[in-house]
Amino acid sequence: MNESPILRIAASPHLNLDAALRSGVQPDFLAMPRKPASIYDESKIKTLSSLEHIRLRTGMYIGRIGDGSHYDDGIYVLLKEVIDNAIDEFIMGEGSRVEIAIEGTKVTVRDYGRGIPLGKVVECVSQINTGAKYNDEVFQFSVGLNGVGTKAVNALSQAFRVKSHRDGQYVDATFQRGVLEAEKKGNDAKAPRGTLIEFEPDPEIFKKAQFREEHVVRRLRLYSYLNPELRLLYNGEEFYSAGGLLDLIDEETEDEAIYKPFHFRDKTLDFAFTHTPRYNETHFSFVNGQFTSDGGTHLSAFREGILKGVNAFAKGKFDGDDVREGIVGAIAIKLQEPVFESQTKNKLGNTEIRGDLVARVRDIVTDLLHRNPEAAERLLLKVEETQKLRKELQAVKKIARERSRAVSIRVPQLKDCKKHLNKAKGKGHESMIFITEGQSAAGSIVSTRNVTTQAIFTLRGKPLNVCDLNRDAIYKNEELYNLMRALNIEDSVEGLRYNRVILATDADVDGMHIRNLLITFFLRFFEPLVHEGHLHILETPLFRVRNKKKTAYCYSEEERDAAMKELSRGLEVTRFKGLGEISPGEFKAFIGPDMRLTPVEVDEQQHIPSVLKFYMGKNTPERRGYIMNHLVVDVTA
């Protein structure tokens, strides 16, 4: 066996490396022949143009590329960058209408602002660090302060067009993958001033990415709430809000609101909030019209300001958890020099504004409570009730923890992995846990899993239906309590130990029921875990089609029929009824690099309670009637 020189030296009790080097004696491992290093000279130094850099390091400019299925995928960032410019015109009092059209992957955005100065049209969409947004006199509260946005859209589009109208004249320029193809100038006295942008994301970068209607609509709704009186027309549909963030909170809470939302708005600060019976807090935060999905300084100041305002009004000392449970709030601020933690601007980093913003929100909230005594009374009743229930819950938690310690120090149903998620340190994103039903299914995964990154939690039967239950029920139920312990979410979702929580149930009626029970559990009590994209469903093959030469695993009847047609002769078709029927040797491929996962996503958060109540509540006759009325029978079968 060849021995590593380093290991051999470490094992030698007589070698002192520092002393040997000082004495001039060369240890034998330093004299060993080394592999020639690659040549590093002037020829290896490269200078990329801004266009090349954007295309080569796309993630630095737009974050994730994706395929369009996720709200933050790259094609929506391109759309946002173009609309942002149109919104900036509106913010500066120029143009109250923006027209957006999407046909396939081709996007057209037309604003009616001032139009790009005609002598700088090409430079403004193709040269990094060129633009008027460095000039506070022209754009006081702009998101796009770095002069990159539209240039990145241009560089990442297979086709890009910009046309600016000013004073009866226009400049029309077309590009291909960021390279200027043609520029035309002319007169058009009838055309209103403003800017037209057309682009089509480059399939070389975005592959087969497609725009999803719900993600586009969500963005446009947020734009309308942030910019009252602005009219956004998208493929013929108008998005308009007169109330701004108040409309947003009304729509997000609907009939759940315990009291009429409090609302304040001036030139640089806009916020609204109310309470609901939910167990989690929900916030929307914005800076200069940009949706900061990861929050930042302004959101933390808003949350603390509300707490301090409520305590000042009540002359009490409520805990933050008591005041914030069930709250739905939104805050939008305007800054001349916002500092974001990434190019995609998802989190604000201006720490210097926090103290003043906390004090300002506190004073405004206190004043709003004094001015609205009926709503203030309902708010305090909600907070006091939450405080009481939390104290009662502490006793239930204590009993549950003592019970679990008496049984075992470890969670008995958990086979853990070595790496875990650590959000604070940004580590463990490859970690995952499979929640399986029964020992047979777990057995296949146990014998084939990657012990470094894949953990397994085995259910002992159907979990409790928590749709109509309070939080104390999940601490009294041993199965759900152990699941919380395994995930480390007893106190907060922030402690989640695995990046992906994967429901691995059989593709039959019982498996689907278990899956729905677990989704209900997470949505009712740990909603952020779902919204942050941690919950997934494992897709495993329903059929195996094979002959002597080839085996095909099929995830649908359509795939099965295609495989049968392709393999044609000497076929053996197997229908997998459960995960336990798939041999460990086969199962390894289904939880490996090519694993198929379907993320559990929520399009409209405000509808979660009604959806859960309908499908998982105690309204069995209503549900049965719905199923019977919508049952489709295949008479040809």
pLDDT for 342: 66
What value does the mean pLDDT take over residues 151-159? 93
Q: Encode pLDDT of 106-132 as tens digits.
A: 999 999 999 999 999 999 898 876 655
User: pLDDT at residue 138 above 90?
Assistant: no
- 530 vs 14, residue with greater confidence: 530
Compute the distance between CA of residue 439 and CA of residue 462 in angstroms, rounded to an integer: 13
Q: Using an 8 Å Cβ cutoff, are 302 and 357 in contact?
A: yes
Say which DSSP state 190 is in: T
Q: Which tokens is 283 given? A: 């916030």
* Pure H helices in 429-477: 438-448, 472-476
What value does the mean pLDDT take over residues 373-387? 96
What value does the mean pLDDT take over residues 613-625? 79
**Could you tell me what percent of the chain has a pLDDT over 70?**
87
Q: Phi-psi bin for 104: left (phi > 0), alpha (psi -120 to 50), beta?
A: left
* Burial classification of residue 442, based on how many CB atoms lie within 10 Å of its CB (0-12 exposed, 13-18 middle, 19 or more buried): buried
Compute the distance between CA of residue 96 and CA of residue 377 in angstroms, rounded to an integer: 40
Compute the distance between CA of residue 188 and CA of residue 134 in angstroms, rounded to an integer: 30
284 strand-pairing partners:
330
pLDDT for 412: 77
Instruction: Concatenate the DSSP letters of all residues of 64-113 into one string.
Output: ----SSSTTSHHHHHHHHHHHHHHHHHHTT--SEEEEEEETTEEEEEE-S
Upper half-sphere CA count for residue 253 (Cβ side, 13 Å): 29
Q: Phi-psi bin for 66: left (phi > 0), alpha (psi -120 to 50), beta?
A: left
Q: Which tokens is 124 given? A: 């403004």
pLDDT for 230: 93
Q: Using an 8 Å Cβ cutoff, are 540 and 579 in contact?
A: yes
pLDDT for 231: 95
pLDDT for 12: 38
435 strand-pairing partners:
457, 503
Q: Give the CATH superfamily of 56-239.
A: Histidine kinase-like ATPase, C-terminal domain (3.30.565.10)
Of the pLDDT bands very low, low, confident and very high (cuts 50, 70, 90), residue 289 is confident
User: pLDDT at residue 613 above 50?
Assistant: yes
- 64 vs 314, residue with greater confidence: 314
Least confident of 9-23, 192-206, 529-543, 617-631: 9-23
Of the pLDDT bands very low, low, confident and very high (cuts 50, 70, 90), residue 141 is low
pLDDT for 1: 38
Q: Using an 8 Å Cβ cutoff, are 372 and 322 in contact?
A: no
Within the chain, all domains assigned CATH 3.30.230.10 are found at: 245-337+345-387
Of the pLDDT bands very low, low, confident and very high (cuts 50, 70, 90), residue 515 is very high
pLDDT for 5: 35
Within the chain, all domains assigned CATH 3.30.565.10 are found at: 56-239
Upper half-sphere CA count for residue 210 (Cβ side, 13 Å): 6
Coil, strand, or helix at residue 225?
Answer: helix
Of the pLDDT bands very low, low, confident and very high (cuts 50, 70, 90), residue 2 is very low
Name every residue whose Cβ is closer than 8 Å to that of residue 388 and which is 6 or more positions away in sequence.
none
* Burial classification of residue 3, based on how many CB atoms lie within 10 Å of its CB (0-12 exposed, 13-18 middle, 19 or more buried): exposed
User: pLDDT at residue 7 above 90?
Assistant: no
pLDDT for 413: 86
> Can you say how many angstroms the Cα of residue 478 is from the centroid of all Cα atoms in its chain?
31
Q: Encode pLDDT of 64-102 as tens digits.
A: 888 998 888 899 989 999 998 898 888 888 889 999 999
Within the chain, all domains assigned CATH 3.40.50.670 are found at: 414-540+597-607
Q: Encode pLDDT of 262-281 as tens digits.
A: 999 998 999 999 999 988 89
Least confident of 82-96, 122-136, 193-207, 235-249: 122-136
Q: Encode pLDDT of 428-480 as tens digits.
A: 999 999 999 877 677 778 888 999 999 999 998 889 999 988 889 999 999 99
What value does the mean pLDDT take over residues 11-24? 43
CATH number of the domain at 245-337+345-387, please? 3.30.230.10
pLDDT for 192: 94
Of the pLDDT bands very low, low, confident and very high (cuts 50, 70, 90), residue 21 is very low
pLDDT for 22: 47
Least confident of 235-239, 263-267, 588-592: 588-592
> Can you say how many angstroms the Cα of residue 513 is from the centroid of all Cα atoms in its chain?
26
573 strand-pairing partners:
545
Of the pLDDT bands very low, low, confident and very high (cuts 50, 70, 90), residue 61 is confident
545 strand-pairing partners:
552, 573
Q: Using an 8 Å Cβ cutoff, are 287 and 143 in contact?
A: yes
CATH of 414-540+597-607, one of 3.40.50.1470, 3.40.50.670, 3.20.20.150, 3.90.230.10: 3.40.50.670
pLDDT for 23: 47
The values of phi and psi at residue 536, to 5°, are -135, 160
pLDDT for 540: 87
Say which residue the tokens 């941690």 belong to.
Answer: 534
Of the pLDDT bands very low, low, confident and very high (cuts 50, 70, 90), residue 521 is very high
User: pLDDT at residue 27 above 70?
Assistant: no
**Rg, C-alpha atoms of the chain:** 30
Mean pLDDT for the chain overall? 85
Q: Using an 8 Å Cβ cutoff, are 148 and 78 in contact?
A: no
